[in-house]
Chains A and B, each alone.
Chain A
Amino acid sequence: MRILFQLLVLLATAPAAAVIRVDINSGTASPLPVAVPTFPATADAATAAGTTSALGNQVAAIIAADLGSSGLFRPVDAVVVVVPADVTAPRFDAWRASPAQALVTGNVTANPDGGVTVGCYAYDVASSEELARQGFVTTAANWRRAAHKCADLVYARLTGETGYFDSRIVYVSETGPKTTRIKRLAVMDQDGANHRFLTNGQNLVLTPRFAPNQQTLTYMSFAENRPRVWLYTIGTGRQEAIGEGANMSFSPRFSPDGARLVYSISQNGTTDIYRMDIANRSVTRLTHGPGINTSPSYSPDGSRIVFESDRGGGQQIYTMNADGSGQQRISFGEGRAGTPVWSPRGDLIAFTRLTTGKFRIGVMRPDGSGERLLTNAYQDEGPTWSPNGRVVLFFRTAAGRTGKVDLHSIDLSGTNERTIKTPLDASDPAWSPLLP
């Protein structure tokens, strides 16, 4: 069920240079006030997802929630009742009475083919200038994605960075006692909507990761008591074991072009990293011990791989070329370091820092310099990056008998920590690329 999005270029003059701008590095300290009033309905028409006026209400709420969740924006109450004519010609004098510095408005119209068009307009209130406008045409079922795309447009225009709201999260849903946890793959929109379980909990499953096309997952399953790497096709529900042989394979991740997997195989107590060409299943060994070598993650250009190894005595982070050459340690400092994940921007590596009794999420440059710890709790583990490399999502396990575990996100600046709501406990998140 591939979803096609059609961009509609709304007639507009080229926007003038924005007067307002959000500083992405310090913006969470003083978020930009933004008003997102209910999108007015020109003609209230029925769609498969509800009336266009009801959708206009919900679309505005989603945009406000998206922008607010970034910590860079502060949604404020609308002081002006927006009528259809205001969408293209806002009454700026009235808006200037509110704290809002930016105004996001638009409309939802029903299309003859049953789909909807969401028009998205952003304005600088102080200067009365238009910042951005775009129309998103999609199926009625996909209306939330159009709202996320509008929020991404506003985010990009005001921060200068690509947005991340039209994206999804795959993770492991957990329930039951700590000693006999039931784990299921689940997928949801970045904001928790459209939640869906992918497996039934019969088999222990771990570490799902998206393919670049977002349609395929790789993960580890204990199905048939043979722990190994599997593929899952989201559209069809097809599951396929790809780890062969009797040895455990685990910790899989796709290459940036989606053609390969990197993962670990354990054999008689030693664990090494391998690469598989998915098309012909040919396997190349990339590390040759000693010790445990696991958690491989490609750089976004596919030329390098970051991974963890205890070859030096304790768990530390290393990089190598994609062919396995040039292996070198990059993490130093107190304690151990594991679960490295290369940022989609390429500039940073997120990882788990293990110190006495604690796991914390940190980031460092690919040469190991500039280490910063972002979180502080009993066990924060398993970071994954937002598609634009600005936000890190991870799972937090509480100490004690409940084993309570849930998903949290934090801005790269170490601020704006948020809990991601899930129906049950949650671990092992992986953020998708931005959807097409």
Chain B
Amino acid sequence: MPKRAAAVAMIAILVGVGACSTKKKILPPAPPPIGTPLGGGTSSTTTPAGSDSGTVGTRAVPGSLADFRATSGSDTVLFAYDSYDVDDTAKAILGKQAEWLARYPGVRVTVEGHTDERGTREYNLALGDRRASAAKNFLAAQGVITSRLQTISYGKERPVADGSDDAAYAQNRRAVTVIVSGAR
């Protein structure tokens, strides 16, 4: 149960960060995470999303995936249409990811590059590679040795938002830093 409570809290943190750092219109109509009180039986033992998330978030085990996400603010950075420029918001997140990676030198990550659906399949594979490489190169420039960094492009094959509108497109144009080994 504590694990689940922590997970709920982490999602709350991510949503909170998104609200601060991005325009409101690109916020996802996020479905409630498992365990969010909706009158279900788990409500008595979980922390309601959005309340007191900071203190619960500190429960994340240092060096864990949850800790990585909490410390960095997000595992995901977003891009403009057909762009692979790392903007200031993305730089801030990647900078914190790099700091965290410096603290845990045994961790190896894969940076996934993704696109929205407004490009042809093969072009988007190449564009996803550009985004993953841009994020990887930024991490490397912050001192993360490249042998710890891999990239993979999924093009438009793995959206996180399934709509065909600007809000969904914005969420899908992303690079996600995924821990592959070394986390606690």
Residues of A within 8 A of B (CB): 177-181, 183, 204, 206-207, 222, 225, 227, 246, 248, 250-251, 264, 266, 268-269, 271, 292, 294-295, 308, 310, 315, 338-339, 352, 354, 357, 359, 378-379, 381-382, 397, 399-401, 403, 428
Contact = CB atoms under 8 A, between A and B. Distances in A.
B117 interface: yes
Contact of A400 (B119, B120, B130, B163): B163
A227 B152 contact: yes
B129 interface: yes
Interface string B89-122: 0000000000000000000001000000111111
A279 B164 CA distance: 44
23 contacts: A179-B162, A204-B157, A206-B125, A227-B125, A227-B152, A227-B153, A248-B153, A250-B122, A251-B122, A266-B129, A268-B133, A269-B130, A269-B134, A269-B137, A271-B126, A292-B127, A294-B123, A315-B123, A338-B120, A338-B123, A339-B120, A339-B121, A401-B163
B165 to A, nearest CB: 9
Contacts of A269: 84, 129-130, 133-134, 137
Interface string B21-51: 0000000000000000000000000000000
A84 B164 CA distance: 59
Nearest to B120: A338
Interface of B: 84, 110, 117-123, 125-127, 129-130, 133-134, 137, 150, 152-154, 157-164
Contact of B120 (A183, A204, A382, A403): A382
A352 B133 CA distance: 27
B129 A359 contact: no
Contacts of B150: 246
Given A227-B153, A269-B133, A271-B129, A179 B158 contact: yes
Contact of A378 (B130, B157, B164): B164
Nearest to A337: B120
Given A266-B129, A339-B121, 6 more contacts: A225-B110, A246-B150, A292-B130, A295-B120, A339-B122, A401-B162
Given A266-B153, A269-B130, A397 B117 contact: yes
Contacts of A339: 120-122
A403 B162 contact: yes
A19 to B, nearest CB: 46
Nearest to B161: A179
A397 B120 CA distance: 11
A292 B155 CA distance: 13
A397 B137 CA distance: 34
A216 B159 CA distance: 31
B123 A292 contact: yes
B85 to A, nearest CB: 12
Contact of B126 (A178, A183, A294, A378): A294
B162 A177 contact: yes
Contacts of B120: 295, 315, 338-339, 352, 354, 359, 381-382
Contact of B121 (A206, A225, A227, A292): A206
Contacts of A251: 122, 125
Nearest to A399: B164
A288 B158 CA distance: 29
Contacts of B152: 225, 227, 248
B121 A207 contact: yes
A400 B123 contact: no
B69 to A, nearest CB: 19
Nearest to A352: B120
Nearest to A180: B158
Contacts of A397: 117
Nearest to A358: B118
A357 B120 CA distance: 12
Nearest to A251: B122
Of B123, B127, B162, most A-chain CB atoms within 10 Å: B123
Which 9 A/B pairs are nearest by Cβ-Cβ distance? A269-B133, A399-B164, A266-B129, A178-B162, A271-B126, A292-B126, A269-B130, A251-B122, A338-B120
B182 to A, nearest CB: 17
A180 B158 CA distance: 6
B126 A264 contact: yes
A399 B163 CA distance: 8
Given A248-B153, A271-B129, A292-B127, A179 B164 contact: no
Nearest to A402: B162
A354 B126 CA distance: 17
B162 A266 contact: no
A292 B153 CA distance: 14
Contacts of A294: 122-123, 125-126
B157 A381 contact: no
A352 to B, nearest CB: 5
A267 to B, nearest CB: 8
A250 B117 contact: no
Contacts of B159: 178-179
Contact of A181 (B123, B134, B157): B157
A315 B118 CA distance: 12
A264 B122 contact: yes
B107 to A, nearest CB: 17
A359 B127 CA distance: 17
A83 B127 CA distance: 63
A329 to B, nearest CB: 16
A222 to B, nearest CB: 8
A179 B123 CA distance: 19
A294 B117 CA distance: 18
Contacts of B158: 179-180
A204 B123 CA distance: 17
Contacts of A271: 126, 129
